[in-house]
Amino acid sequence: MGGDHAPEEIVAGAVDAVEEHGVRVVLVGQATRIRRELDRHGAIGKIPIVHADEALDMGEGALASWRKPRSSIAIACHLIRQGRASALVSAGSTAGVVATSRLRLKGQQGVLRPAIAVTLPTRPRPTILLDAGATADVKPEGLVQFAALGTAYAQILLGLERPTVGLLNIGAEPGKGDKVAKRAHELLAGGGHGLEFAGNVEGHDLLTGKVDVIVADGFTGNVALKTMEGTIRTAFAEVRDAMTAGRAARMGALLQRRRLQDLRDRLDPDTYGGGVLLGLNGTVVIAHGASRARAITSACELAHRLAAGRIVERIREQVALTRTSRFGRWTHGERDGTGGGPAEPGERPPDPLSTADQPEPDHGEPPTAP
């Protein structure tokens, strides 16, 4: 139910993910509207529906997680905690999705703060940037854990055994940056954490493919990401104008059509599915609010791939390697329990089974993909 074009484009993308890519999906939201969209695509009975009374508005922030305990995001998280789903995909308000997911799924044991990982269109292979906005203020130990989260993500997404990690900074020298960046560099360079640290990287390295994982606090990472996105859009607009400025330019563009199409696809955010909220007891993929069907299909494929790669378990193993004696006492479990745990005090978890459409008999087991 989240996104600028919900539920039409969301359902269309989900149907394509099921029919063209074999992803197992359950749709959570207002059952009547969802069923209407499924009927338009001839998909009634092919995708289970779980009804949700409420939905987070695109303008709602973190407090919506408390104001709307029966939102579609909250119920989807409940399905994950029940083991009836493995991942969540949403194009809704990023703040609302992050807050609700953190409240309902809890942080993994030992994870200080979650982080949003995004894919940058570098060559010869993509680069992972995190955090892209989940945690603005972070300690040096948190940046080390972000490196662990990004390493686990890159191992599954990029198929790398030991991805290289860079720390986003204002200079390549070890002594650059503020106190947090300097201390984080010391911890990362010190070894003993199972990470392949390659040193500091600068803003102009974001699209060079110098490292496989780039680590930053959420404030810096978000600014860097949006600056890069704006620059790419501006550059593309200028190239388009130049190639349509005259007859000769248009003829040249026609001859280069295939190369230009490949470049556009590589730089199009819809190709990558969205950001992934790492560090929770469940996989959460946050698609862009303006996502169309193609982006939702990509997001579902990404969630399916991460769930199949057991990203939660991989993160648990990688984070365990970073818990050295210098900061191992700062664990999620020591701050607010063991992480998974029961529902919040005084909260009665919503029972989606009471309002769910019953799947057709041939659906088999409850869905385990997003």
CA distance 290 to 2: 10
Cα end-to-end span (Å), the chain = 15
Separation CA 268–CA 138 (nearest Å): 30
Question: CB under 8 Å, gap of 24 or more: what pairs does 236-239 form?
Answer: 236/264, 236/267
Helix residue spans in the chain (DSSP H): 8-21, 31-40, 64-67, 72-82, 94-105, 140-157, 179-189, 218-243, 247-255, 257-267, 293-308, 311-322, 332-336
CB 288 within 8 A of CB 274: yes
C-alpha separations of 291 from 5, 285, 301, 312, 343 in Å: 7, 13, 15, 26, 32
pLDDT (0 to 100) of residue 121: 87
Tell me the domains of the chain and their CATH numbers: 1-111+279-308 (3.40.718.10), 118-269 (3.40.718.10)
Largest CA distance in the chain: 70
Closest by CA to 143, choosing from 214, 227, 208, 225, is 214
Sequential pLDDT tens for the chain (370 residues)? 988 998 999 999 999 999 999 999 999 999 999 999 999 999 998 999 999 988 888 777 677 778 888 999 999 999 999 999 999 999 998 888 999 999 999 999 889 899 999 999 888 889 999 999 888 889 999 999 999 999 999 999 999 999 999 999 999 998 899 999 999 999 999 887 889 999 999 999 998 999 999 999 999 999 999 898 888 888 878 777 777 777 777 777 777 777 767 766 666 666 777 899 999 999 999 998 888 999 999 999 999 999 999 999 999 888 888 764 344 444 333 333 334 433 333 344 344 433 344 443 333 344 444 4
For residue 335, the model assigns a pLDDT of 38
SS3 state of residue 97: helix
Token reading at 300: 């579902």
With contact defined as beta carbons under 8 Å apart, do 280 and 114 qualify?
A: yes
pTM equals 0.81
| Residue 163 Ramachandran class (φ > 0 left, ψ -120 to 50 alpha, else beta) | beta
Cα distance between residue 167 and residue 31, in whole Å = 45
Distance (Å) of CA 302 to CA 7, 17, 93: 20, 10, 19
> Can you tell me which residue has the tokens 């009804």?
51
At 263 the pLDDT is 66
The string of DSSP codes covering 217-258 is: -HHHHHHHHHHHHHHHHHHHHHHHHHHTSSHHHHHHHHHTHH
Q: Which two tokens stand for residue 136?
A: 């603005």
- Which residue shows structure tokens 């003993």? 192
Task: Report pLDDT for 249.
Answer: 74
**What per-residue confidence (pLDDT) applies to 93?**
87
8 A C-beta contact, residue 31 and residue 51: yes
Distance (Å, whole) CA 87 – CA 77: 8
Nearest residue to 71 via CA among 10, 114, 24, 30: 30
Q: How far apart are CA 43 and CA 293, in angstroms?
A: 15
Q: How many Cβ atoms sit within 10 Å of the Cβ of residue 322? A: 23
